[in-house]
């Protein structure tokens, strides 16, 4: 069965300070309807529009991901989005009374805990995945960032970080499937090098930074006067650093916690694609800019796929060939219109009709300008649906399918000899009392040619026994 969309069962609130703005904020996360997606709302600004979690709305990636619409911004969105996406939630509304998400401990785990506490609810709509069908590559030469997406039947991430730091070294992290997110990734905290803090502070960042919301890595020993100057910039007490190491003496959750946090950031930033992903993402030296650029690249690929339509592998061995189809359907030449079935599962089916000039309808429709009649396109689609319906019963030879309703028929382009018409039908509702309700689409070269909504009933045919005389 198709995976269903999810939201949270009830709303929750969390209070904290923004890492970069330093402002106290209350974040309330609310359930949302099917196909709502992730959205933000600044309740402290009257009449403020909803801000979609959309890569195209990102205006800044300086140590965090910032969204803006109509001049109103929401800062540091990546951790709460990672918590939602990492728990495979699709729909939520996030209301906040300030400009920035609360940083909490610098990880996604505080949000994960609250989500699990209120619970997750399955919804009616199917998940709409972006499926990686061919390699997608991205490179930022200035930042030495490389990202690659390759086909994979689930969401998988592999990350390598290298900051030319003798203390941190080169680190790798992976998430083989999203089920590992809570325990292996969500607790990993953001980090910063001590040598970077002066620059960040002077540029108006990390105003809410503290020893309890980030891992501070001291890989270089700075003079005490420099440390005092940094502390004064941030309004923090003076500290002493006598040896290289983790400044705040934290116990790391994992030896490679910095690399795992970079992986966490990718989960959050790729939520800006607007769809869950089926694919393996490999990232070298990632950052928010690269993550967001890659999310935009994926959005472009989604638009390209939508324009082209789904792609089918017509070279693979059929599930049902013409001989199998004749055993399932009562139709025969010239009314048997399906050549093969190439895909079938619990909720969908894909069938193929090759259009040839020697078919009888082209004698009169239209001479000199052969076009496959629309009614025959619908009949061919119905035959694919009939094969699906009969494949759900144990003895299909004893059943027939009778169509009860055809709605929403649209023809998008001519179908002519030489075309291959590929029909894809999906169940709209579970089969009950033999009623099969499906949405069907027919494609030529990836372009939508015909669509319709079909309803049929599976009926068991009574076979009368022969009398002695007939025998």
Active-site residue list? 288, 365
CA–CA–CA angle 9, 10, 16 (5° rounding): 125
Query: How many angstroms from the chain centroid is the CA of residue 18?
Result: 28
| Alpha-carbon span 15 to 270, nearest angstrom | 25
**DSSP symbol at 364:** T
**DSSP symbol at 193:** E
What's phi and psi for 337, nearest 5 deg?
Answer: -110, 5
What's phi and psi for 245, nearest 5 deg?
Answer: 155, -160
Q: List b or e across 17-33, with b for residues whose CB sees 16 or more CB atoms inside 10 angstroms.
A: bbbbbbeebebbbbbbe
| Alpha-carbon span 57 to 52, nearest angstrom | 8
Environment class of 354 (CB within 10 Å of its CB; exposed 0-12, middle 13-18, buried 19+): middle
Q: Which two tokens stand for residue 175?
A: 């998430």
| Alpha-carbon span 355 to 363, nearest angstrom | 14
Residues annotated in a binding site: 79, 261, 265
- Give the residue among 464, 468, 423 at the shortest CA–CA distance from 442: 423
Residue with the two structure tokens 């609360």: 102
Question: How many CB atoms neighbour CB 245 within 10 A?
Answer: 13
- Give the residue among 177, 178, 159, 147 at the shortest CA–CA distance from 257: 159
C-beta separation of 435 from 454 below 8 A: no
Reduced to 3 states (helix: H, G, I; strand: E, B; else coil), residue 107 is coil
- Give the residue among 45, 46, 16, 37 at the shortest CA–CA distance from 28: 16
| Alpha-carbon span 92 to 10, nearest angstrom | 10
> Torsion-angle region of residue 355: left (phi > 0), alpha (psi -120 to 50) or beta?
beta
């Amino acid at each position: 069965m198709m995976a269903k969309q999810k939201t949270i069962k009830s709303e929750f609130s969390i209070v904290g300070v923004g890492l970069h703005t330093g402002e106290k904020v209350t974040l309330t996360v609310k359930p949302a309807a099917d196909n709502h997606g992730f959205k933000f709302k600044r309740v402290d600004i009257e009449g403020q529009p909803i801000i979609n979690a959309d890569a195209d709305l990102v205006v800044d990636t300086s140590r965090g991901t910032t969204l803006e619409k109509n001049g109103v911004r929401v800062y540091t969105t990546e951790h709460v989005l990672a918590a939602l996406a990492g728990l495979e939630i699709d729909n939520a509304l996030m209301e906040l009374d300030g400009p920035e998400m609360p940083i909490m401990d610098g990880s996604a785990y505080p949000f994960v805990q609250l989500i699990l506490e209120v619970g997750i609810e399955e919804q009616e709509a199917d998940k709409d995945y972006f499926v990686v069908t061919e390699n997608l590559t991205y490179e930022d030469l200035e930042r030495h960032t490389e990202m690659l997406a390759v086909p994979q039947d689930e969401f998988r991430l592999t990350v390598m970080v290298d900051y030319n730091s003798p203390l941190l070294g080169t680190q790798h992290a992976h998430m083989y499937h999203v089920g590992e997110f809570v325990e292996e990734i969500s607790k990993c905290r953001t980090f910063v090098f001590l040598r970077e803090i002066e620059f960040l502070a002077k540029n108006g960042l990390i105003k809410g930074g503290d020893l309890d919301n980030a891992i501070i890595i001291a890989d270089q020993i700075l003079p005490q006067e420099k440390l005092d100057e940094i502390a004064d910039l941030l309004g923090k007490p003076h500290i002493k650093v006598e040896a290289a190491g983790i400044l705040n003496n934290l116990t790391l959750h994992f030896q490679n916690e910095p690399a795992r946090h970079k992986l966490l950031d990718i989960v959050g930033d790729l939520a800006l694609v607007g769809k869950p992903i089926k694919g393996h993402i490999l990232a070298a030296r990632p950052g928010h800019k690269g993550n967001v650029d890659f999310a935009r690249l994926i959005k472009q690929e989604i638009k390209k796929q939508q324009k082209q339509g789904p792609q089918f592998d017509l070279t693979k061995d059929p599930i049902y060939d013409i001989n199998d189809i004749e055993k399932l359907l009562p139709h025969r030449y010239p009314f048997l219109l399906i050549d093969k079935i190439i895909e079938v599962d619990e909720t969908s089916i894909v069938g193929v009709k090759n259009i040839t000039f020697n078919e009888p309808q082209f004698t009169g429709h239209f001479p000199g300008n052969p076009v496959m009649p629309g009614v025959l396109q619908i009949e061919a689609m119905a035959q694919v649906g009939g094969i699906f319906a009969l494949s759900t019963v144990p003895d299909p030879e004893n059943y027939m399918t009778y169509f009860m309703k055809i709605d929403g028929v649209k023809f998008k382009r001519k179908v002519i000899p030489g075309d291959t018409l590929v029909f894809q039908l999906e169940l709209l509702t579970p089969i009950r009392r033999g009623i099969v309700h499906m949405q069907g689409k027919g494609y030529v070269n990836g372009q939508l040619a015909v669509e319709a909504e079909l309803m049929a009933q599976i009926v068991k045919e009574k076979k009368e026994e022969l009398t002695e005389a007939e025998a």
